[in-house]
Amino acid sequence: MRQFGYERPTQIGAALAAVGAPGARYLGGGTNLVDLMKLGVENPELLVDVTGLPCDRIEPAAGGGLLIGATVRNSDLAADPAIRRRYPVLAQAVLAGASGQLRNLATVGGNLLQRTRCAYFTDVSKPCNKRAPGTGCPARDGEHHNHAILGGSPHCVATHPSDMAVALVALGAVVHVLDGEGAAGVPIEELYRLPGEEPDRDNTLAPGALITGVELPPLEFGGRSAYRKARERASYAFAIGSVAAALAVSDGMVSGVRLGLGAVAPVPWRAHRAEAALLGGPATEEAFAAAAAAELADARPLRDNGYKVPLLANLMTQVLTGLAAEVRR
């Protein structure tokens, strides 16, 4: 059994100092990191538990949106009345993820930084460029039915597993980060990076950077939003495709739209191309289907995951059509 240390600071400065020790890692709810430690994928020397830090509230942000503390539990986030009213897509995405017990433990910061569920990544007896750079990517020719159709590289085609992050990308959230350089607000799309030639780097954070919170902008039409997730069984399971959408319609025309896609790429994917195609055009099922097709035109499926192209096209069309119907009601 491997020995490791454990600390639970109550001040942010102390957490930053503690994580500076060799082999130290932050610990949120531990629902991903501890699993990976048991599998031998992660081997930290010291766990710095962030759940004692004063980052556990959801409160109004200066710009009119909401600031969600990084240690807010997923269950508390999904149950928060302001989140449910102003950003239902986020509450729905969180509730679509994992199980009740897991959501009671999992934190916002940990959810964003959870690692891929690619079976080769979690099996230390197999090669995997993300876990052991330069060893290869057996998923490309092996088991890849739930791998990326967008944004992959010859070195890695894993998908990002978070449901929450898909909603946050659609909402244009800003991640509050603290590191040796000070505090910064990182637009969530810039938090994540595509694998390119360095698939071991999932994100753009500096070593030891602490996520302190996530800020939601005051999106006017955030209240008309929804999350739709396809998965292989009705109880808890990771997505094989998901869509987060927010829609504003004025006189039958799309006056605002936000779209995020999940389980299609190594990052939670903002569907910029579909958004641009829709804005100012008719809010009809035909237009939604055309925009979905435009977004997916660059999809490069592998041998066994081509089903994701029609799946995502249908999910996008359905969820937007449903939101447009709500406007007419």
Question: Does residue number 188 form part of the binding site for ligand FAD (CB under 6 A)?
Answer: no
Q: 114 touches which of ligand SF4, ligand FAD, none (CB within 5 to 8 A by kind)?
A: ligand FAD
Q: Angle, to 10 degrees, between the axis of helix 285-296 and the axis of helix 308-328?
A: 150
What are the structure tokens assigned to 172, written together? 């244009």
| Distance of alpha carbon 20 from alpha carbon 187, whole angstroms | 25
Could you tell me the smallest distance in angstroms from the CB atom of residue 275 to ligand SF4? Answer: 28
Q: How far is CA 315 from the centre of its chain?
A: 18
How many residues of this chain interact with ligand FAD, rule: CB under 6 A? 31
Report yes or no: 112 and 68 within 8 Å, Cβ to Cβ: no
Among 113, 137, 158, 167, binds ligand FAD (CB under 6 A): 113
Query: Of residues 292-321, which lie at the interface with ligand SF4 (CB under 6 A)?
Result: none
Q: What sign does the dihedral 236-242-248-252 (CA atoms) show?
A: negative
Give the strand order in the sheet containing 5-7: 5-7, 46-49, 24-27
| Distance of alpha carbon 233 from alpha carbon 17, whole angstroms | 43
Among 18, 95, 98, 170, binds ligand FAD (CB under 6 A): 98
Longest dimension (CA), the chain: 65
Among 152, 161, 241, 268, binds ligand FAD (CB under 6 A): 161
- Cα separations (Å) of 2 from 7, 119, 173, 263? 17, 23, 38, 33
Question: Does residue number 266 form part of the binding site for ligand FAD (CB under 6 A)?
Answer: no
Among 58, 128, 243, 287, binds ligand SF4 (CB under 6 A): 128
Question: Does residue number 116 form part of the binding site for ligand SF4 (CB under 6 A)?
Answer: yes
Could you tell me the smallest distance in angstroms from the CB atom of residue 295 to ligand FAD? Answer: 22
Contact residues toward ligand SF4 (CB under 6 A) are: 116, 118, 120-121, 128-130, 137-139, 147, 156-158, 199
Contact residues toward ligand FAD (CB under 6 A) are: 25-33, 35, 50, 70, 97-98, 102, 105-107, 109-111, 113-114, 161-164, 210-211, 236, 238
